Structure 1
């Protein structure tokens, strides 16, 4: 950790950079002071400090009115790309990508799933062919969140078609502005288009955008996947935060929807939501000791099933009123923030929770094998 204490560094940052001044300049200075990810190395936005210290740093800066990096806008970058680059990237890659990623200057997307390779990610068919100091990438990706806003993408491609499917993969950082990258919107059941198809046609990526060794892409991707599941299901929440929040709010504000039978179900869902929130908090504490493990799969699975059950019960409580949905306009949302949307939107959007970030079926297999020790 820095020779200065974290609170001294916070005071110094606030003294040198007014919170009501240039927002980007403040965020850059915060990163350079090691107050972005305190558990990251010095010089890369951190202090080599325990991860648990981050909450205190964030609270101190929030109390001072300091701007944050709007984490919901760059969830893939912060939750998945950054830990992967830190673990598998070169020094030059860490220096190039981590600072503008954390400040939000560069948004990231995830180029993993394909029309024929979603749950079985190791079956990706997108090809990466080496041509001297560059790689020529051709293929199609799907369900790519925020690809239309992304500057960079984390990309898994097949570099050796003759190797076993887990062994012939290579992991890249993809320049989303490169010639041959085409992004098309995917309209969802909600009427929105937060996801995309991405077509890669002869995209040339220099070798210095490769993460890890050729053929070792699966090991790099596992780092991304483990962090993805924690990012989706393990987001810090206040008490009664997340999917349960609008349901509880409706119950308190609408006496006309209350019945004894519904109260029993509401309490069951509230207890499950609180148990899930506390379990996720415990998981984040365990992360201070190392990389995410298979426990993240359990947290993400619980998040998906609980969100669907809560939103379904919310429609049941509201009856016909809950079925109204007038917002079918094609939208390009910057984030998936459903707490202030219509109940039908929450219900429909929750259906995707059991697919994104690893399907519930795949997660149950991981839990069975790697947590419970059951045979394959």
Structure 2
């Protein structure tokens, strides 16, 4: 299947671009999947509600829950791309994952309670999956939940929880049965983050920001009616929800193309020797190599979009797109930092810092993309085993 421009899609893109330009609460100050500053949260909650009200989010939801009729996948791609192009805030946290889980496995009462609150921005969700000993190997999680009357009592620790300090609800995975294979015996919960025993501790990262958190769960009581899906079936719930939110597939390519344009502008402004960096042969060669890889990464995203629309997705599609994006993103950040010369060691707040410190922050954060969402080395193994059918690694 080929992605062809169509008048109705071009018109829709123009409408989305105009909506973002006139209504967005502002550009994100940093690259990556970051947490807003606390003072921005009221405006972002309002913005999320406006995006839902304008049918720019939740388009693929069932009509009875506020979605639109027909297949809206292409339109959702456009919204994600335009938010990325404008560096505007989109829906923060894990609401996309949580809504996927609720729509596929939630009870009618859960849907009636949580879905309107997601649409209004009243509830922001965080993802309580990863643990200190269970990151890329999520099935190895050890946080436990035991039944006690009409509640489950949860004890354990989660980490790398983006927006955990802003979240109202947590999409939690905990082990309810340890007697079988590790993928079995996991249950999904909707956890009120204000429940006694939930301790959210922000982690200060190398960027100087606190986007991640570690979350300690000490005898946290969750009502049984907050189990999402069936008990011990959380692995299936989680994997289904991870496949539900796919609209951001092409957005990463757009981010790379935008960075590429900024790199070219930076090369015109900065100097190497007696002239602009853009005239320096070595710089031009490096910029050309990065540009080629960025364009390939963008095209790979389009290929994945095409396969999603055509129903021909392959197990290698998402992992390979993520691996290439993360590597090119790191390469672009390194080049941006290098173009700053000795000024590249300056940072936000220093006098005459390059681009307000954008490239320094982008470089410090870029390595995280090679780990988040599955470490690149793990994803390459996934491609080898699940897509290419190669013999499994000895473990």
TM-score by length of 2: 0.75
Aligned to 2:161: 144
Shift in Å, 1:299: 1.5
Contact 2:188–2:234 under 8 Å retained in 1: yes
State the partner residue of 2:347.
Answer: 325
Of residues 270, 273, 276, the one that matches 2:291 is 270
Aligned counterpart, 2:383: 367
Please name the residue that 2:64 is paired with: 43
In the other structure, the counterpart of 2:263 is: 247
Change (3 A) 1:227 1:100: same
Mapping for residues 217-296 of structure 1, pairs under 5 Å: 217-226=234-243, 230=246, 234-235=250-251, 238=254, 241-254=257-270, 256-258=276-278, 259-288=280-309, 294=315, 295-296=317-318
Match of 1:348, SS state, is: helix
Residue matched to 2:119: 102
Deviation at 1:144, TM superposition (A): 0.4
Given that 1:34 and 1:42 are in contact with CA atoms closer than 8 Å, whether structure 2 keeps it comes out as no
Distance in 2 between residues matched to 1:94 and 1:242, nearest whole Å:
38
Rounded Cα–Cα distance in structure 1 between residues aligned with 2:298 and 2:356: 20
Residue from 109, 116, 119 that aligns with 2:133: 116
- 2:90 aligns with 72
Structure 1 unaligned regions, length at least 5: 1-6, 12-18, 63-69, 329-338
Match of 1:343, SS?
A: helix
Q: Does 1:299 align with 2:317?
A: no
Number of corresponding residues:
341
CA distance change for structure 1 residues 360 and 102 in 2, over 3 Å: closer, same or farther? farther
CA distance in 2 between counterparts of 1:320 and 1:26 reads 39
Instruction: Give the C-alpha shift of residue 98 in structure 1.
Output: 2.3
| 8 Å CA contact retained: 1:153, 1:175 | yes
In the TM superposition, residue 198 of structure 1 has moved relative to its aligned partner by: 0.3
Shift of 1:132: 2.1
RMSD: 3.5
Residue 170 of structure 1: how far off its partner (Å): 0.7
What's the counterpart of residue 312 of structure 1?
A: 334
Q: 1:343 aligns with which of 359, 363, 366?
A: 359
Assess if the C-alpha contact under 8 Å between 2:145 and 2:153 holds in 1.
yes
After the TM superposition, which of the residue ranges 235-244 and 144-153 deviates more from structure 2? 235-244
Shift in Å at residue 71 of structure 1? 4.9
Deviation of 1:367 (Å): 1.2
Change in 2 beyond 3 A, CA 1:238/1:160: closer
- Report the more deviating stretch, 101-110 or 164-173: 101-110
1:98-155 deviation digits (Å, cap 9, x = unpaired): 2322342221111111111112111111010011221111110011001000011111
1:302-340 alpha-carbon deviations (Å, 9 max, x no partner): 221111111112222322111212469xxxxxxxxxx96
Is this contact kept in 2: 1:38–1:49, CA < 8 A? no
Aligned to 1:334: none
The structural deviation recorded for 1:232 is 6.8
**1:53 Cα deviation after fit:** 5.1
> Hey, what's the Cα distance between the residues in 1 that align with 2:51 and 2:277?
48
Tell me by how many angstroms 1:285 deviates. 4.1
Name which structure has the greater RCO, CA cutoff 8 Å, separation 6+. Answer: 2
TM-score, reference length from structure 1: 0.79
Matched, 1:161 2:183: no
Q: CA distance change for structure 1 residues 353 and 239 in 2, over 3 Å: closer, same or farther?
A: closer
Mind listing any 5+ residue stretches in structure 2 that lack a counterpart?
A: 1-10, 16-22, 25-42
Deviation at 1:166? 0.9
The more displaced of 239-248 and 29-38 is 29-38
Aligned-partner Cα distance in 2 for 1:317–1:25? 38
